[in-house]
Structure 1
Amino acid sequence: MPLFSVVIPTYNRASLLEETLASVFAQTLTDHEVIVVDDGSTDGTLALLARYGERIRVLRQDNAGQGVARNLGIREARGEYVAFLDSDDLWPPWTLATFQRVLQEQGRPTLVMGRARSFQAPGELSDLESGPLVARSFADYLASAEANFIRTACAVAVRTEALRRVGGFSAKRISSEDYDLLYRLGVEPGFVFVESPVTLGYRQHPESSSRDLDRGYEGTLFLLSQERHGAYPGGSMRRRERLALLLFGLRHVTHWLLEHGRRRQALTLYARGLRFHRALPRWRYLLGFPPWALATSLRPRR
């Protein structure tokens, strides 16, 4: 059994996938398998993957979205942990070795999350360095609610058994399926955030799913619905921690929508979050967001 199963979902990214795979094969730790899940690509993806032979396992499905593709990879994974990598992102050579060291030193936590560096051209990552290792340890993911760092399932390694037990990713085509997974893993024992070194190069380009305003809006509504219907673990004892995480994300998305002229969507999310903010008020946001939204609506259009 390998330590890691590297799961890479892809859809029509043949032009970028080769760079992503090169970063995996450049890892200093070789105790891993590589699984690429093709989500019904219509470009040259399959031809590209065929060139790698037995170095990778290729799984194929009809186009169903990134969450479904990742879940297929989870089902087929042979490793103790699954490390996720998107098909347009890059790992520095020390990523898996860093995760391995954390697992060894921190008693095999369920979840390890790394820090990302955004880039547009790969050369922007040339100044990254492999150390020193600086990591923050928590009893579980919810216990990190007040910690200040950027969270993403694009830069994580998760115990395979735990992923299967919580049901993997949502099948919905939303941009918050990673946060939904993290919340459902919320009370699994052991969470470590790696502050240093950087373990992911996160590519910024116009097709990045994180830039899809509608999916961000729908994803945030979905997370609120999940909390409202008790889909996340921890019960009433851990509710404040869940809300701290959920509402931080909601505030970010409402500002993002408003900055892009989506006033109605931003105000809808603001209103949907009020019942939760009553339990965990952030008065600067609660009192300041409505007049800011009104002011943006009165600005002359260019």
Structure 2
Amino acid sequence: MDDGSTDGTGELLARYGTRVRVFHQRNAGQGVARNLGIREARGDYVVFLDSDDLWPPWTLATFQQVLQSQGPLTLVMGRAHAFQDARELSVLEDGPVTARRFDDYLASADATFIRTACAVAVRTEALRRVGGFSDRRVSAEDYDLLYRLGVEPGFAYVESPVTLGYRQHATSSSRDLDRGYEGTLFLLEQERRGHYPGGAARRRERLAMLLFGLRHVTHWLLEHGHRRQALALYARGLRFHRVLPRWRYLLGFPPWVLAVSLRSRR
């Protein structure tokens, strides 16, 4: 998918001739671009790779092996390795494939691993059934998709080998912070409106993942001096934390904001 790029992507891909199908559109955001790819997909599964991330050579073979060995699956998520310089990935090694299977994505709520839609293989039919990605320009469109796939049967997480180089940019711009804030609000609003599957019976699992992300973003905002946004997001999450409280965070975050504020005035 070429989402209106101006960096020579089209010319580069044209060198591959008919071996690669390329679809072009005016810049409309990554959700819209991915959805066009989903509509045009011919295979049983769709795999995503963001422009700034990298796959080691064995990624697709690893996904294929997990799909063949773990039984019917809707979603396979690979293990990510954070990096800033591509040379850091030279330490990665292919090896025996191990994966942990869950009944569905929501059932993995208590597991701890990096969750991102740029490290997944998803059954094409399921992607189309849930409507693909949101077309809104929010940074959380991948999490939103994962929640909407939450009760589709069969989810596996690849514990080894690493299948994604997940690029961490050396500097965080204020735009990224704003998008993180707005994306988290979007996810909470989707949950409040009942747009995620599983109903009341699976609410605690959804909230376990949603609130983990919220706590991470509020810490991130505060560390970069965005105190008002951090407090606003903390307040918006209170109604959800009443269902699944984390007292250390709930009681400790406001004093931390105050302490940071006082330090900044010195």
- Return the TM-score normalized by structure 1: 0.85
For the residue of structure 2 that corresponds to 1:299, the secondary structure is: helix
Q: Which residue of 2 aligns with 1:173?
A: 137
1:297 is matched with which residue: 237, 249, 261? 261
Unaligned runs of 5+ in 2: none
Tell me, yes or no, if structure 1 residue 96 matches structure 2 residue 92: no
For residue 47 of structure 1, report the CA deviation from its aligned partner. Answer: 1.7
- In structure 2, relative to structure 1, the CA distance for the partners of 1:209 and 1:105 (3 Å cut) is farther
What RMSD over aligned residues (CA atoms) do the two structures have, in Å?
1.7
Deviation per residue, 1:173-216 (Å, 9 max, x gap): 11110100000000000000011100001122358899811110
Provide the rounded CA distance (Å) in 2 between the counterparts of 1:233 and 1:101: 29
Deviation per residue, 1:250-282 (Å, 9 max, x gap): 000000000010111111110110000001000
Provide the rounded CA distance (Å) in 1 between the counterparts of 2:95 and 2:133: 31
For residue 140 of structure 1, report the CA deviation from its aligned partner. Answer: 0.2
1:76 is matched with which residue: 40, 50, 74? 40
Provide the rounded CA distance (Å) in 2 between the counterparts of 1:44 and 1:149: 35
Tell me, yes or no, if structure 1 residue 288 matches structure 2 residue 252: yes
Unaligned runs of 5+ in 1: 1-36
1:191 is matched with which residue: 130, 155, 161? 155
For residue 121 of structure 1, report the CA deviation from its aligned partner. Answer: 2.3
For residue 294 of structure 1, report the CA deviation from its aligned partner. Answer: 1.0
**Larger RCO, structures 1/2 (Cα 8 Å, 6+ apart):** 2
1:56 is matched with which residue: 17, 20, 24? 20
Tell me, yes or no, if structure 1 residue 164 matches structure 2 residue 128: yes
Q: Supply the AA of the counterpart residue of 2:231.
A: L
For the residue of structure 2 that corresponds to 1:201, the secondary structure is: strand
- In structure 2, relative to structure 1, the CA distance for the partners of 1:75 and 1:208 (3 Å cut) is farther
Map of 1:38-57 to 2, 5 A cutoff?
38-57=2-21
Q: Which residue of 2 aligns with 1:150?
A: 114
Provide the rounded CA distance (Å) in 1 between the counterparts of 2:225 and 2:40: 42
**Contact conserved, 2:84 with 2:170, CA < 8 A, in 1?**
no
Map of 1:202-241 to 2, 5 A cutoff?
202-205=166-169, 212-241=176-205
- Return the TM-score normalized by structure 2: 0.96
- In structure 2, relative to structure 1, the CA distance for the partners of 1:68 and 1:208 (3 Å cut) is farther
Q: Which residue of 2 aligns with 1:4?
A: none
Q: Between the two proteins, what is the percent identity of the paired residues?
A: 82
**Contact conserved, 1:137 with 1:193, CA < 8 A, in 2?**
yes
1:242 is matched with which residue: 194, 206, 218? 206
Tell me, yes or no, if structure 1 residue 130 matches structure 2 residue 94: yes
Q: Supply the AA of the counterpart residue of 1:201.
A: G
For residue 120 of structure 1, report the CA deviation from its aligned partner. Answer: 2.3
Q: Which residue of 2 aligns with 1:66?
A: 30
